[in-house]
Homo-oligomer: A and B are copies of this chain.
Amino acid sequence: MPLLVMKFGGTSVADLARIRNAAEKVRREVERGYDVIVIVSAMSGKTNELVGWVEATSPMFDAREYDAVVSAGENVTAGLMALTLQEMDVPARSWQGWQVPIQTTSAHSAARFIDIPRAHIDAKFAEGFKVAVVAGFQGVSPEGRITTLGRGGSDTTAVAFAAAFDAERCDIYTDVDGVYTTDPRIVGRARKLDKIAFEEMLELASLGAKVLQTRSVELAMRYKVRLRVLSSFEDTDHNSGTLVCDEDEIMESKVVSGVAYSRDEAKMTLLRVADRPGVAAAIFGPLSDAGVNVDMIIQNISEEGFTDMTFSCPTNQVMRAEKAIAEGSAAGAFVYDKVVVDDAVAKISVVGIGMRSHAGVAATMFKALAAENINIKVITTSEIKISVLIDRKYMELAVQALHDAFGLEKAA
């Protein structure tokens, strides 16, 4: 029997009516002949309520007890979804993490999968059950304690089940109808992509596209799980949404697939750093220890024996970064002249697997920005992505200009 994994996020199961709507989509797949594993999040708001109680009880909470409390939300949805399916005459059974058991590491609130044994759920399918409803976001540690997976954990659960059960596809139902060439709120002509390669989705996810969580895309790429992103709130069929898949499946691809942006970036430059082997590690080690999410890093030689070191990080981490730098320097780890902070920049990226084989993408990008008189402050590139930092006030303009320059409003 072919098998599908279907995942419904918090807004898709926010109340009983929406659970029923989601169950209807599951029933349709069962009628098409699939066994289905449904992964559910907590009803929206419920996890926040539980987290609020934990934080109010114990600001420095024990992560084991945090996990035991917050996992309750998914358990409730799983039971309600199974009941809803039963009401539709679809034989369904709910599964909490420990019942599968979803074996994870003991890293509470950030656990990783060790194994998802198939035996118990396979046995239920063999008995005639058509749907296994699994509580997302959770597992059980080798010590028998409940674990949770951290942000986006339900997406990751869905992909891991799709890999473990050799699912034909993993459908992620959410509140948008797919992955777009860029944010439709900024570019009205943004186009929904029918397909996108794992690598591109991974870059877009890590650039802040909220559709899929980075780790779930990584996992899908590693296990070649075909992911589909589609809307819970529209009629959908097997061609809806956006398929995230291996690039081999994408026949004709544009050079650039999408334009991403990140608004709240800051650029920090350490001027005249005394250069010696290991100085980068001496600077970025303390930043990492201080929890600063350093994104881009650029190093230039300024004059003999000195270097300028520039990096970007989220705006709200600037103070933390300044403190870490001051302390590192005070401890003698490195020597510099001064720090220059620009906390009014934005990051714009163009992403596309096509640029691996096409020259000139960078030139097109830079020319499009220059035509709008937008100054580029920092450039970094990866195999399938070019990112620049620019003044924040030009962000929307830059996104529109690049969307036009690469002709993204037209299908490939």
Q: Which residues of A contact B (CB under 8 A)?
A: 16, 19-20, 50, 53-54, 56-58, 61-62, 64-66, 68-69, 71-73, 75-76, 78-80, 82-84, 86-87, 93-94, 96, 98-99, 120, 144-146
Contact = CB atoms under 8 A, between A and B. Distances in A.
B54 A82 contact: no
A62 B50 contact: no
Contact of A82 (B16, B50, B65, B94): B65
Contacts of A120: 144
Contacts of A65: 79-80, 82-83, 86, 93-94
Given A53-B16, A57-B16, A69 B79 contact: yes
Given A61-B83, A65-B86, A68-B79, 10 more contacts: A16-B56, A50-B76, A53-B76, A54-B83, A58-B87, A62-B83, A66-B79, A66-B83, A68-B78, A68-B82
A57 B75 contact: no
The quantity of this chain's copies bound in the complex is: 2
Nearest to A84: B57
A151 B54 CA distance: 28
A60 to B, nearest CB: 8
A68 B58 CA distance: 27
Contacts of A78: 68
Q: Which of A58, A79, A80, A99 neighbours the largest number of chain B CB atoms within 10 Å of its CB?
A: A79
Contacts of A58: 83-84, 86-87
A86 to B, nearest CB: 6
Nearest to A120: B144
Nearest to A98: B98
Contacts of A79: 54, 65-66, 68-69
B69 A57 contact: no
B72 A76 contact: yes
A86 B80 CA distance: 33
A68 B61 contact: no
A69 B75 contact: yes
Contacts of A87: 57-58
Contacts of A98: 98-99
Contacts of A54: 79-80, 83
Contacts of A20: 57
A279 B51 CA distance: 60
A79 B55 CA distance: 12
Contacts of A57: 16, 19-20, 80, 83-84, 87
Nearest to A87: B58
A146 B73 CA distance: 16
14 contacts: A16-B53, A50-B76, A53-B76, A53-B80, A54-B83, A57-B87, A58-B84, A62-B83, A64-B93, A65-B79, A69-B80, A72-B73, A96-B146, A98-B98
A7 B1 CA distance: 49
A71 B98 CA distance: 15
A297 B150 CA distance: 60
Contacts of A146: 96
A72 B50 CA distance: 12
A58 B65 CA distance: 32
Contacts of A75: 68-69, 71-72, 75
Nearest to A146: B96
Nearest to A60: B87
A87 B66 CA distance: 13
A73 to B, nearest CB: 8
A83 to B, nearest CB: 4
A96 B64 CA distance: 13
